[in-house]
A and B are shown apart, each in its own frame.
Chain A
Amino acid sequence: MAGRGVEAPAAAVSTDFTHALKDSALAGLIAFGLFLPLIGFHAVQDIRNELVLETRWPLLFAFVILAMAGRLFGSLVVTPWRERRAARPRAVAAARPGATLARLFAPAATGFVIVYPLLVLWLAGLGGAVKWVDNFGIQILIYVMLGFGLNIVVGLAGLLDLGYVAFYAVGAYSYALLSQTFGLSFFMLLPLAGILAAFWGIMLGFPVLRLRGDYLAIVTLAFGEIMRLVLINWVPVTNGYAGISGVPRPTFFGIPFNATDEGFAAVFGLEFSPIYRTIFLYYIILALALLTAFVTIRLRRLPVGRAWEALREDEIACRSLGINTTSTKLTAFSIGAGFGGFAGAFFAARQGFISPESFTFMESATILAIVVLGGMGSQLGVAIAAIAMIGGTEALRELDVLKEVFGNGFDPTQYRMLVFGFAMVLIMVVRPRGLISTRQASVHLAERKAIAGTLVKEGRG
């Protein structure tokens, strides 16, 4: 197989090359047309507050060259490689050599995240550790937890939920309002917030779960937006745009984290530092995320979990086999919503302040991107995707080199959603089963059958 390219006559190679060059020139022309208005020109406000145009020819030129080079690379390298690979007979899937390593990876990773705050404390000291535990630990774990929750809905049951953030908001506002009004503690309200969110999941899910997949996605999007608009406009309860501030922070089983004599540091005879609260919060969200993962793993083995996966693969077959699709979907939707509610309550307790700004569609999209990137249905994939995407942008923010290159106003979070969107498209085109991990049904026939490529693409292989 390796000699195919060499054996081809020289004339064919040269026409291939001119063809590729032509293609590349065409791609350059299209790229020029595409990027001319938005990259070639920049509409900025001048001193009189009027819009004027600035030109950015070098940038436009760079984009065009990039498109041409990409196209050339595609037709000269990628396409022949693909053809060679397609021509090669598929090896029958044997036991993968990395299987044991993969089995050990999850417990090792869990062990690492458990000792992570202590490790950071040891390395960075009391003062420096807050940033590492908060920005890199808690922030990522919130998204891991949300990703696990949405994974039940999208990854296991195959219901595309674009309004997941609505349940996150229900949890956050439930905790904020109930704790301020009734003075209940975090650990009492945490389950309550989850139950309320799950209840909302049932209420919203019941009428819409009969709908076909893409309609369901749009309706959940509408619900998410309605929820946000109500939060903005129902000022007497939610305080509108201004949000709710002074949300009570969780205490260490009744001992608050403050500098007073009853505070955590004083009671345990330690020097006061905000790090203790941060570490405590870290372990709460870690416990919640692990709980979600554990429940999901167990649920997958139960009849309901298997029904979810069957539903994802083929709804009509499920109905023919007598599975009640509405109630099966409803359980997935409400359990996912419940975990979203837990995460929301934690978010409110951690921030101490919530406003509708935190619950926009972009938040739903971020969580969805994490689930899609991780490989729908895979727990480990979701966790790695969250670390790469959320932690990655946080890490970029730390790099001073980038500030020197791109100027002082460089903010990697600005590019985060750009990369997310692009990655979602790329994954769907290149590896629809996820970049990091492939989902696998919990039960499948032991004997692998050779089936058509289209069926494998649809997820039936």
Chain B
Amino acid sequence: MEVFVQQLINGVTLGSIYGLIAIGYTMVFGIIGMVNFAHGDVFMVSAFIALITFLLVTTWLGISSVVAALLIVLVVAMVLTSLVNWTIERLAYRPLRGSFRLAPLISAIGMSIFLMNFVQVAQGPRNKSIPPLLQGDFVLMSHEGYQVTLSYRQLLIWGVTAAMLAVFWYVVSRTSLGRAQRACEQDQKMAALLGVDVDRTISITFVIGAALAAVAGTMYLMYYGVVNFADGFTPGVKAFTAAVLGGIGSLPGAVIGGLLIGLIETMWSAYFSIDYKDVAAFSILAITLIFLPQGLLGRPDVEKV
């Protein structure tokens, strides 16, 4: 029981991170029908930006308050990562509208390889670690020496994720920007005829996706305290799995899928075999795509000629 509760806490934390990345996949897929393969690497780049901003803030500016430092890091990471993703969209995806079917995906794969190796060359292949932040935890349950703990860091991740999702939900469902976005998702030509700037809306979609990925990247860096140039690949595929599981194109689906993948991964590690936890996640991806391609909350794919 105690183990289960502890894994539940860990799983929800991990799931929050996956969910934030998954939104980026699902939004881009919804609006231009493309699997943004490079999104996992954008997440990794954001973690690196957060790392460097953190070092800058703590060692150069000498800000000692952890909360203030994290806030600055979060904002800087969100802004710069958005800029990165905006540029990527402009240079690598926008010229490909109307090209052949697989062109955007191949371009995204190329971009993913480029980003990963760019960070490796620019910052070196070794793990980068920061000193642990916000140590300490609440003990929730205790039984025969086994303590169920909820660390400050986990609590912070939950809080930030919830706040970001609330803001994001407000933007998508209540503002004219969100309306334009949903309109483009349904029918780009019609939206353009009604005066929606489709290109701009698509750019903003990439910016929002990147900002949420940057939140995930900052949280990831804070939670694990270490980041590596190759860290974008596996979380990226898992977040994509989350988006597919929740129903690609569906925003609540991405969050639910993220939480589910996080829980499945931690539970699998606790009760089965930690060596095969990634195999479990990848298998879910394959099984979902084969047997339930519309996901839990998605609409079934309609084929148009």
Contacts and interface: CB of A to CB of B under 8 A. Distances in A.
Contact of B121 (A219, A232, A415): A415
Contact of A207 (B113, B285, B290): B290
Contacts of B286: 207-208, 219, 222-223, 226
Contacts of A213: 101-102, 105
A42 B124 CA distance: 9
Contacts of B194: none
Interface stretch (A30-38, A100-108, A337-345): A30-38
Interface string B200-224: 0000000000000000000000000
B289 A414 contact: no
Contacts of B48: 37-38
Nearest to A223: B286
Interface in B38-71: 45, 48-49, 51-53, 55-56, 59-60
A262 B99 CA distance: 61
The binding surface of chain B is classed by DSSP as helix
Contacts of A51: 51, 55, 128-130
A443 B277 CA distance: 48
Interface string A207-241: 11011111101110111011001101100000000
Contacts of B87: 30, 34
B282 A424 contact: no
B283 interface: yes
Contacts of A182: none
A144 interface: no
Nearest to A362: B113
A33 B210 CA distance: 15
Contact of A43 (B55, B84, B111, B113): B55
A218 B285 contact: yes
A454 interface: yes
A165 interface: no
A424 B109 contact: yes
Contacts of A158: 101-102
B83 A34 contact: yes
Given A34-B83, A222-B282, A422 B110 contact: yes
State which size class the interface on B falls in.
35 or more
Given A207-B290, A213-B105, A428-B103, A43 B52 contact: yes
A178 interface: no
B279 A217 contact: no
A222 B102 contact: no
Interface string A436-461: 00000000000000000010011100
Contact of A221 (B80, B83, B237): B237
B124 A225 contact: no
Scoring B49, B105, B122 by chain A CB atoms within 10 A of each residue's CB, the highest score goes to: B122
B240 interface: yes
Contact of B111 (A316, A372, A425, A459): A425
B55 A52 contact: yes
Nearest to A454: B98
A365 interface: yes
Contacts of A457: 98-100
Scoring B107, B273, B305 by chain A CB atoms within 10 A of each residue's CB, the highest score goes to: B107
B73 to A, nearest CB: 11
Contact of A424 (B51, B107, B276): B107
Nearest to B83: A33
Contacts of A210: 290
A421 interface: yes
Interface in B112-130: 112-124, 126, 128-130
Interface in B251-305: 273, 275-276, 278-279, 282-283, 285-286, 289-290, 293, 301, 303, 305
Given A233-B275, A365-B113, A424-B109, A432 B35 contact: no
A25 interface: no
Contacts of B305: 316
Interface string A147-176: 000000000001010100000000000000
Scoring B53, B115, B276 by chain A CB atoms within 10 A of each residue's CB, the highest score goes to: B276
Contacts of B117: 414-415, 417-418, 421
Contacts of A221: 237
A384 interface: no
A405 interface: no
Scoring B237, B286, B301 by chain A CB atoms within 10 A of each residue's CB, the highest score goes to: B286
Contact of A225 (B51, B126, B282): B282
A423 interface: yes
B283 A226 contact: yes
B191 interface: no
A52 B59 contact: yes
B49 A38 contact: yes
A39 interface: yes
B95 to A, nearest CB: 5
Contacts of B129: 51
A212 B121 CA distance: 35
Contacts of A211: 289-290, 293
B247 to A, nearest CB: 13
Contact of B60 (A53, A420, A454): A53
Contacts of B283: 222, 226
B190 interface: no
B158 interface: no
A225 B290 contact: no
A214 B121 contact: no
Interface in A44-64: 44-45, 50-53
B171 interface: no
B196 interface: no
Contact of B99 (A37, A215, A418, A458): A458
Interface of B: 34-35, 45, 48-49, 51-53, 55-56, 59-60, 80, 83-84, 87, 91-92, 95-96, 98-107, 109-124, 126, 128-131, 233, 237, 240, 244, 273, 275-276, 278-279, 282-283, 285-286, 289-290, 293, 301, 303, 305
Top-9 shortest CB links A-B:
A424-B110, A421-B114, A421-B113, A428-B107, A418-B117, A222-B282, A425-B110, A233-B275, A417-B117
29 contacts: A37-B80, A38-B49, A43-B55, A51-B51, A53-B56, A160-B106, A214-B35, A214-B105, A217-B102, A218-B237, A218-B289, A219-B285, A219-B289, A219-B290, A222-B237, A223-B286, A226-B279, A369-B113, A417-B116, A418-B117, A420-B110, A421-B113, A424-B107, A425-B107, A428-B107, A428-B110, A432-B96, A432-B100, A457-B99
Given A41-B55, A212-B301, 6 more contacts: A38-B52, A226-B286, A418-B117, A424-B110, A428-B106, A432-B103
Interface of A: 30, 33-34, 36-39, 41-45, 50-53, 158, 160, 162, 207-208, 210-215, 217-219, 221-223, 225-226, 229-230, 232-233, 316, 361-362, 365, 368-369, 372, 414-415, 417-418, 420-425, 428-429, 432, 454, 457-459
